[in-house]
Amino acid sequence: MDETNVSELPYAGWLEESLQNIIKLQPDSMAIIAVRNSDGMTYSGYYQADAMDIGHFISTMSADFILEVLRGNVKVVKEIMEEDENGF
């Protein structure tokens, strides 16, 4: 078994904060997803999650994705909306 000290990982603080938030939520089901960008390897794991729960996870992540795209392109979106208002 790998003897990595989890507290030394670069995402240890984020993971600890996330687990504390999950504990407060008292969830009935959970998911964890990770990707390694170098080769696209992905891990997904679920706790007590049925198809409906996984669908809920997907829709939540899709909404997060849309929000991130909008945030990253706010100037472009604003320009498009202004052009549309001006009849272009």
In a shared domain, residues 1 and 38: yes
Give residue 87's pLDDT band: very low, low, confident or very high (50, 70, 90). low
Residue 54, pLDDT > 70, answer yes
Domain that holds residue 87: 50-88
Same domain (yes/no): 4, 43: yes
Do 41 and 65 lie in one domain? The reply is: no
* pTM: predicted TM-score of the whole model, two decimal places: 0.74
58 and 43 housed in the same domain: no
**Percentage of residues in the chain having pLDDT higher than 90:** 76
Between these two residues, 65 and 86, which has the higher pLDDT value? Answer: 65
Does 43 lie in the same domain as 2? yes
Q: Which of 78, 88, 33, 24 is nearest to 58 (CA)?
A: 33
Q: In the chain, how many domains are there?
A: 2
The yes-or-no verdict on residue 35 having pLDDT over 80 is yes
Identify whether residues 21 and 38 lie together within a single domain: yes
pLDDT of residue 88: 56
- How many CB atoms within 10 Å of residue 30? 14
- Say if CB 48 and CB 26 are below 8 A apart: no
User: If you average pLDDT over every residue of the chain, what do you get?
Assistant: 92
Asked whether residue 67 falls in the same domain as residue 30, the answer is no
Q: Would you say 32 and 49 are in contact if contact means Cβ atoms under 8 Å apart? A: no
